[in-house]
Amino acid sequence: MEFLTIGEIIDAAKGELIKGNREHLVSNITIDSRIVKKDDCYIAIVGKTLNGHNFGYEAIEKGATTIIAHQLLEVLSPVNNLIKVKNTTRALGDIALYYRRKFTPRVVAITGSNGKTTTKEMIGHILHNKLKTVKAPNSFNNDIGVPLTVLNIDSHTQALILEMEMNELGGIRRLCDIALPQIGVVTNIGDTHLEFLKDRDGVAQEKSELLESIALFGTAVLNADDELVMQIGDKYEYKDKITYGLGDHANIYASDIKNLYESGTEFKLCGKYPVRLSVPGIYNIYNALAAVGVARIFDIGYEEIVSLLTSFKLTSMRMERLNIHGIEIINDAYNANPQSMLASLQTFAQFPSQERKVLILGDMLELGKKSKELHKNVGKNLPDGMNLLVTVGKGAKFIAQQAKYAKKIEQILSFADAEEAANKLVDIIKINDKILIKGSRAMKLEKIINKLKEYYDCKTKTS
């Protein structure tokens, strides 16, 4: 981040200077009191579970010289510069918008029900080789994460890569108003955030806000094999439109696909360029094709794109392969919705195994009134060849119920939470088991992996 004055911050956020100096310079803005450094500006965000105002004094003790807040101002009075705003989350976005307008990067925004983060990482992997690139860390994709990522750019930044995900109509429009993207990628439209968006049409409407924001002047990159994506894509005119899919009906396409199971996939790009992806799953070919489409907008040649795709590795907790003392684990527990759950199950079913195949499946959250139905549908569509099903959470229990009814799997166990499951599974999981772990992020299914590792590390030391 380059310097902003307190005066610029106040004007951007429509705030009030309670105390301090408008000429004071700020070179870093954070919302996390744990990582505050000397002279930082700390914004006290009110979240779902934590109120940042409660950590304001901790931020001051760690060296923050500027605090932006809308409550408990008297407690924060020891700070050098104290700014009052009506809403700190809104202020963060307004400051980021002011800052974004100071620079001229080409901004790529990615939305969709699945594949956003992997697509973002693939695009970043390709562009970073040629351009000064900033990309969103982890899943910084909401009204806090997007502004924080925007604040990481500077006058040297040539490409900014963002993912966008909100659970309310108007949410993505607000993110676009902050980031001002010129390139919009829509990966797919599925059953996500139904608790708030009601149905797939609501999800499609939310995703279309990105395309609306780039209409006329921007470039849309669209999944040609997703009917709803193409429907919303056809609503607008663009400077340019690129489609991608499995077949030459799309501008960027894959053909001659060969499944290498755990080792990934091979395919021909646009009928000419052989590609080997080291990440498993046909759905990751779609993510790669979207990345190719964006790379071509930046005038990167096919040969270079292919070379960089070959060296791409998935981030942690996304079909991540682990081996704990002979237990093979596919950790895909970063997040889950009905489409990504079924895709992971289909991919896992194709992996060879000489011993037991084990499914550990957690709740898929934010599905609203359709939660029971969609969990039962997963249970109905479990692949053949599975030996043990473990479900974690209230929703996932319906996966187990349906699997029992369909007599899909002999042994089925259900637990209330990851901690209970972890404590029981150390006595059930065996060496040479092959395990898929999948569920929504809030289920914290990594606790099961950590417990197994702790147990077998200890067992190995004492044997």
Tell me the average pLDDT across 10-32: 96
Q: List pLDDT tens digits, range 390-440.
A: 999 999 999 999 999 988 898 999 999 999 999 999 999 999 999 999 999
The tokens of 276 are what?
């080997």
Tens digits of residue pLDDT in 355-367: 899 999 999 998 9
Say what the pLDDT of residue 410 is: 86
DSSP 90-155: HHHHHHHHHHHTT---EEEEEE-SS-HHHHHHHHHHHHTTTS-EEE--TT--STTHHHHHHTT--T
pLDDT at position 389: 97
* Residue 215 predicted with pLDDT over 90: yes
pLDDT computed for residue 129 by the predictor? 87
- Residue 198: the pLDDT is 62
- Distance CA(455)–CA(324), nearest Å, equals 10
Q: Return phi, psi of residue 385, to 5°.
A: 90, 5
pLDDT value at residue 197: 55
Cα–Cα–Cα angle for 246, 250, 251, rounded to 5 degrees: 125
Distance CA 352, CA 362 (A): 23
Three-state DSSP at 151 gives coil
Which amino acid makes up residue 458? C
Residue 34 pLDDT = 95
> Which carries the bigger pLDDT value, residue 410 or residue 289?
289
> 36: helix, coil or strand?
coil
pLDDT of residue 307: 96
Predicted confidence band of residue 332 (pLDDT cuts 50, 70, 90) = very high
Q: Residue 460 — pLDDT band, cuts 50, 70, 90?
A: confident
6 vs 318, residue with greater confidence: 6
The answer, yes or no, to whether residue 63 has pLDDT greater than 70, is: yes
Q: What percent of the chain has pLDDT over 90?
A: 84
- Assess whether pLDDT exceeds 80 at residue 1: yes
Query: Looking at the predicted structure, is the pLDDT value of residue 275 above 70?
Result: yes
Question: What is the torsion angle, in degrees rounded to the nearest 10, for the CA atoms of residue 444, residue 445, residue 450 and residue 452?
Answer: 150
End-to-end CA distance of the chain: 53
CB-based burial label for 110 (10 Å; 0-12, 13-18, 19+): buried
The three-point CA angle 58-62-63 to 5° equals 120
At a CB cut-off of 8 Å and minimum separation 6, what does 420 contact? Answer: none
Q: Which residue has the higher pLDDT, 377 or 197?
A: 377
CATH numbers and ranges of domains, the chain: 4-88 (3.40.1390.10), 103-310 (3.40.1190.10), 320-462 (3.90.190.20)
Per-residue pLDDT at 415: 97
CB 100 within 8 A of CB 153: yes
Give the pLDDT confidence of 220-262 residue by residue, as tens digits: 999 999 999 999 999 999 999 999 999 999 999 999 999 998 8
What pLDDT is recorded for position 463?
60
Nearest to 214 by CA among 158, 294, 156, 141: 294
64: confidence class by pLDDT, cuts 50, 70, 90 = very high
Residue 179, Cβ density class (10 Å: 0-12 exposed, 13-18 middle, ≥19 buried): buried
pLDDT tens digits for range 101-149: 999 999 999 999 999 999 999 999 999 989 999 999 877 999 999 999 9
pLDDT at 202: 73
pLDDT of residue 193: 57
* Residue showing tokens 């637990």: 415
State CA 127 to chain mean position distance. Answer: 19
Distance CA 13, CA 245 (A): 42
What SS3 class is residue 347? Answer: helix
pLDDT band at 457 (very low <50, low <70, confident <90, very high): confident
Which whole number is the average pLDDT over 169-197?
87
pLDDT score recorded for residue 355: 86
Question: Pick from 189, 167, 168: which is nearest to 339 by CA?
Answer: 189
Instruction: Indicate the pLDDT class of residue 48, thresholds 50, 70 and 90.
Output: confident
Give me the chain's average pLDDT, please. Answer: 93
In one letter, which amino acid is 431? I
Pairwise CA distance, residues 393 & 437, whole Å: 13
Rounded average pLDDT over 49-57:
93
What is the value of pTM for the model shown? 0.90
- Please report, for the chain, how many H helices and E strands are present, in that order: 16, 22
